[in-house]
Structure formats: structure tokens, C-alpha cells
Amino acid sequence: MLRAGVRKIGRIMETAAAQGMIQEETTPKGMPRLTSAASDEDIDARIRGYSEVWHHSAGTAAMGKNIQDSVVDAELNVHGLKNLRVVDASVFPEPISATPQATVYAIAELAAVLISRSVVQSER
């Protein structure tokens, strides 16, 4: 998907209208200029080496009731595995409308309680 976006930008920048506004691409040291005809390898190397996330990623290991629509259960256990929990913003099942710091702290506190409880139960 990112590669397709880079190619599309390349096609736009190669139009006469864009050529009149752009002098040249400033590339990172050692990297080739990217055009719509750039190789997949060159585009992928640029994406891997120079892409950054400017938002708060979340929801990639969402919490839910079953393995079909989620990665972890309500106790942060990864579905189908034992002794593996996910404790970060990736468990948010839906985006939150605030910075995630306080919510991540709450998830961490919950995890501490859940893990402590499971240790006590296993010792019985």
C-alpha cells in the first residue's frame, strides 16, 4: 500500500504542472531518487529506513471475546496461547479520543492485578 502511494506521488510529480513547482527531490544520503519507475526494492528501502508514525498506533492486537475478531481476551491473554499477555495500546478495540497515556497506564494497572491474581492461583 505504501509502495503504491509512493508510485502515485512519483506520477504526480512527473506531470508538467508539478515539474514547474519542484526543482528536485532531496534524497537521504546513499538513497536513489524515487520516480514512478523506481524499483520495488528502492521504494521499500526508503519506506523502511525513513518512514515514521506521527499518530498513536493502537488496536493492532485488539481485545475481544473470540479469536475470530480479536487477538486478546478481557484478561489480556492472547487467544490460544498460555502465559502470554499483551499490555499496551495495541489491545484497544476501538480508537480513543484522547492521548493514550492515561489509558495505557490503566491497562498496565489492570495487567498487574490480573498477573498477580494468576500467580496466586497457580501457587494454590
The 10s digit of each residue's pLDDT in 57-87 is 788 899 999 899 899 999 999 999 988 999 9
pLDDT at residue 50 is higher than 90: no
What CA–CA distance (Å, rounded) separates 14 from 35? 8
- CA 35 → CA 14, 15, 17, 29, 51, distances in Å? 8, 12, 16, 17, 17
Query: What is the pLDDT, as a whole number, of residue 28?
Result: 86
Query: What is the pLDDT, as a whole number, of residue 73?
Result: 94
Residue with cell 538513497: 31
Query: What is the pLDDT, as a whole number, of residue 41?
Result: 94
51: left (phi > 0), else alpha (psi -120 to 50), else beta? beta
What CA–CA distance (Å, rounded) separates 123 from 117? 10
**More confidently predicted of 81 and 22:** 81
Residue 56 falls in the annotated catalytic set: yes
Q: Which of 7, 56, 79, 85 is catalytic?
A: 56
